[in-house]
Amino acid sequence: MTQKAQIFYHDIGDYLTREQKLEIVKEFGSIKNVPWQILSPNEHGDWISQRNSTFETFIPLAPERKFDVDSKSFFIAYSLGIATNKDPWLYNFSIKNLKNHLETMISFYNEQRDKFHSQRKNKNAKDFVEYNISKINWTDMFLNDLENNIKYNIDKNKFCDAIYRPFTKQKFCYEKQFLQRTYQQTKIFPTKEYKNLVICTTGIGVNKDFSVLITDVVPDLQVQANGQCFPLYYYTKKENKNQAQGEFFEKEAEYTRQNGVSDFIFSQAKERYGNKITREDIFYYVYGILHSPSYRKTFANDLKKMLPRLPLVENAEDFMAFSKAGRKLAELHLNYEDAEPYQNLTITVEENKDYKVNQMRFPQKGKKDTIIYNDKITISNIPLKAYEYIVNGKSAVEWVMERYAITTHKDSGIRNNPNDWAVEHNKPRYILDLLLSVIAVSIETVDIVEGLPAVEWG
């Protein structure tokens, strides 16, 4: 009779360098000295990083079926962020450059389309088109449209602001025809005129620790790693839209706003906490509790493998504490550009100051109390507490340092310069002020999170 195999496991620890790992192994001296753990899978098939059984007793954020108004979940709708498969052409800090790159891409596409339908000789588009990555990225979607003789045009109304990475806005072409995957975003942000708030969480199956960020503009898929988005509202298109237009008639709204927070959770919350509870209170409760360090730690394994599930806490005081904290955090994270700078920073400016940035950096590895903004400006006396606010794998401050840098896309040669945003918005200090504001936002975020209620998660 064959004996079942046993799996022996030892967790060497997280966030160690290669050298540190090798040193630990060396100290054991022999395989016999390793404190092995014999692994057995749980009911989910998890051998390591096993899920917490309490997590499944909580209420899911996401419905089993999207837009199911009877769903017993916090939200009726949810969606991944936008996936373009052609970021350099569809995102840019400069609206002028964005339009130029798009005009080049569309002109080349239409030229190839004309040639294909006049010269094709039974060839498919994939074998016919000219592959010039400086002008276009031939995705399957583009090739299909070319074969179907679909002409592309630029609609100036499709340009808007989008959040590309945490605390990084860029100009964006929100034209479904050019986007590889919009998922449900066109029902969350149908056009730039329709306002919304969206809680973006880390997606499933990523290596980064769980985090959350709110936005009021269209989110990219990687604002959070493979991020899932839960909206305060979603929009449905009107079937019998009044077409009457003219000098004395305003154009009727094309979409109707629907509640993203479910009737189920609204009813449950009112029953527990009183009839004064609003759907917004619940929305901000979600944002507050998803920041809880104890929640994230207790259910870290679950949050890597499943979308969030949350309890309704026992008493109204804790509910409102999480909701009020979530509202404060939302105000901070939505209005981060306007936050007052942290007062105790030291800003050293040489003569002939220049606010343009090439690549911000620390003076040396590990010395994070100082940021060299450019050759003329240095910010010092930065509290290390600012780096404790982590979103999508790194601190908010380091996201600004990384993303507000001049880059050139390797394949296409397209340049993206954050200084263009400052010029086009007539705010020469925009990037410097942004960095100073995000430092302050980070410190205040840590303070708010430290004040969240303690909860026994079970």
Token reading at 394: 């790194």
Q: Structure pTM?
A: 0.88
- Look at residue 352 in the predicted model and tell me its pLDDT: 76
Strand-pair category, 309-310 with 346-349? unpaired
- What are the backbone angles phi and psi of residue 395, rounded to the nearest 5°? -65, 150
Q: How many CA atoms lie within 13 A of 183 on its CB side?
A: 20
- Look at residue 154 in the predicted model and tell me its pLDDT: 92
Residue corresponding to tokens 């903004």: 373
Average pLDDT of the chain is: 91
Domain extents in the chain: 7-57, 58-83+184-238+255-334, 86-180, 346-450
Regions of the chain short of the pLDDT cut 50: 47, 243-250
- Look at residue 388 in the predicted model and tell me its pLDDT: 98
Helix (H) or strand (E) holding 296: helix 293-298
- Look at residue 205 in the predicted model and tell me its pLDDT: 87
Three-state DSSP class for residue 230: strand
**Burial (CB count within 10 angstroms: exposed 0-12, middle 13-18, buried 19+), residue 227:** buried
- Look at residue 267 in the predicted model and tell me its pLDDT: 98
Strand-pair category, 198-201 with 309-310? unpaired
- Look at residue 406 in the predicted model and tell me its pLDDT: 98
- Look at residue 123 in the predicted model and tell me its pLDDT: 79
